[in-house]
Amino acid sequence: MITFLIGVAILIGGYFTYGKFVEHVFGPDDRKTPALANPDGVDRVPMKHWKNMLIQLLNIAGIGPVIGVILGIKFGAIVFIILPLGNVLGGAVHDYFSGMISMRNNGYNVPALSRKFLGKGPAKVVMALISIALILVGAVFTNTPAQLINTPIIAGSAVSPTLFWVAVGVIFAYYFASTFFPIDKIIGRIYPIFGGMLILASLGIMIGIAPHLNVLSEFNLSDIASNFTQHPAHQPIIPMLFVTIACGIISGFHSTQSPLVARTEVTEKTGRQTFYGMMIIEGLIGMIWAAGGMFIYHMQPELMAAGGVKVLSVLVSTVIPFAPISILVVVGVIILAITSGDTSLRSLRLTISELFGIDQTDPKKRLLLTVPMFAICLVIIFWSNLNPQGFNILWNYFSWSNQLMAVCSLCVATVYLRSKKKNYVIALIPCMFMAFICFDYILWVSPENLKGAPLGFGLDYKTALVLAIENAAVLGALLCLRGKKLASRKEFNPDKWDKSIDEKNDYEPD
């Protein structure tokens, strides 16, 4: 219990200390935001700050801080320390700069910002990675809530394949509406309601496990070595923990969501609350569900071998035996997934439109982009459910691509700060660390090295570690060099979007 409470204190204290420091480095001011300077009635629409905070929280708080941490707590009590430290030093920094740099550049997404800060060649790679990742997010965040809807919560209930596909259809219909229509017509109206349900669901779990916090394990520094083999499947903390608990520690998906809200904020000075603060809240949500996961594994050790959806269902019915409330909690979790899946596809529409200069005020052109995206997503969902191992493979690739997105966004943040001759180390360190995690994962992972894992290079563990460190170091050096070059160019303005970038890249590396 002490380790858990220390983790909570790190999150809360981090917001008021490190969060304030990060804000000071960026330096928000009174300039007009995209919603006021370039309103378009579709995506750049002024909205109230409290709505923006709830939208940001629901956009970023998908199933990662729930199912992800339920699976991640299998690594032991070290999660109660790594999660908050990673959140404060990495995840919240990532989300803050993703939103604020976008706000300074007319609300543009990471691929467009990559074209400006990283160059045309790297931007193409970023565009490909993020497009694939967002499609995977849309598929995973349709599949999982549909599974939850079809998972028995009340004893005696039955699983129905028909109900699953009906749920997929309903979720997809909502996703289409939220992707196609102006942001203030759907998302801006219903998200405050969803936000309330999310908070109630998390509070319900916290109240339910509060009497049992004494069963939570403690992290012991003298026993740190055992934490690298504590997982029941003997998964190593590096890289697996940082891929499993994506959303609680750091998540690249958030970099695709922050620009959505950056387009609707009316002042830069609320950015710390909206971007840094909502990531801290997500971290707190993750801590609650991690504690719940540890409790239920203590009570029912056989669940260590079960899937995340099954464990969640048992946890809720155990700590909240009153059926109507337990159902309400699961509904809150379903909303978490749905309110991330909808905006992932909206982000993809905006990303593609920015890349090809497609006017999104024209409904026909929005439809032209929306329909193919949904068709691809639906094909992936069908495949993942027809193949017995399909969803596990889909989840693993989604988790890895999600963290690759975080690296891409932190690359932009590092170059942005270096080009302004500001403290770029606060973005560089988490960038290099997550690059190391991503390199290490894809170099090491394979069905031979890890049961049920997707295909990777399958190298031995130590070789993968060394190569990952080397590649992360090279990336860090290249980013510093790129930022230094941009800082020397008088015509380069990191805080203003030059329309010529839409046609050419004036800042191509020498």
What secondary structure, in 3-state letters, does 361-425 show? CCHHHHHHHHHHHHHHHHHHHHHHHHCCCHHHHHHHHHHHHHHHHHHHHHHHHHHHHHHCCCCCH
pLDDT of residue 227: 59
pLDDT of residue 505: 45
pLDDT of residue 323: 72
Q: Is the peptide bond before 232 cis (omega within 30 degrees of 0)?
A: no
The answer to whether 293 touches 70, Cβ cutoff 8 Å, is yes
pLDDT of residue 509: 43
Cα angle, residue 123 at apex, residues 338 and 142 outer, rounded to 5°: 15
Query: pLDDT digits over 233-271, tens only?
Result: 888 889 988 988 877 899 888 888 899 899 999 999 999
User: How far, rounded to the nearest angstrom, does the alpha carbon of residue 419 sit from its chain's CA centroid?
Assistant: 26
- DSSP state letters, 85-128: HHIIIIIHHHHHHHHHHHHHTTT--HHHHHHHHT-HHHHHHHHH
The answer to whether 442 touches 465, Cβ cutoff 8 Å, is no
The answer to whether 173 touches 159, Cβ cutoff 8 Å, is no
480 C-beta neighbours (distance < 10 Å), count: 16
CA distance 36 to 263: 9
Strand (E) or helix (H) holding 480:
helix 461-487
Burial of 37 (0-12, 13-18, 19+ CB in 10 A): exposed
CA distance 419 to 422: 8
Closest to 83 (Cα-Cα) out of 293, 264, 386: 293
Dihedral sign computed on CA atoms, order 310, 312, 313, 319: positive
User: In whole angstroms, how large is the CA radius of gyration of the chain?
Assistant: 22
CA distance 208 to 314: 13
172 C-beta neighbours (distance < 10 Å), count: 19
Burial 41-62 (b: 16+ CB within 10 A, else e): ebbbbebeeebbbbbbbbbbbb
CA distance 139 to 280: 26
pLDDT of residue 218: 85
pLDDT of residue 186: 57
pLDDT of residue 390: 63
Supply the pTM of this predicted model. Answer: 0.85
The upper half-sphere exposure of residue 312, i.e. CA atoms within 13 Å in the direction of its Cβ, equals 30
pLDDT of residue 182: 61
CA distance 115 to 122: 7
CA distance 289 to 285: 6
pLDDT of residue 16: 97
The answer to whether 482 touches 415, Cβ cutoff 8 Å, is yes
pLDDT of residue 510: 39
Residue 333 structure tokens: 């979790």
pLDDT of residue 472: 98
Residues lower than pLDDT 50 in the chain: 154-156, 503-510
pLDDT of residue 361: 74
pLDDT of residue 490: 86
pLDDT of residue 355: 67
Domains in the chain with CATH codes: 2-502 (1.20.1740.10)
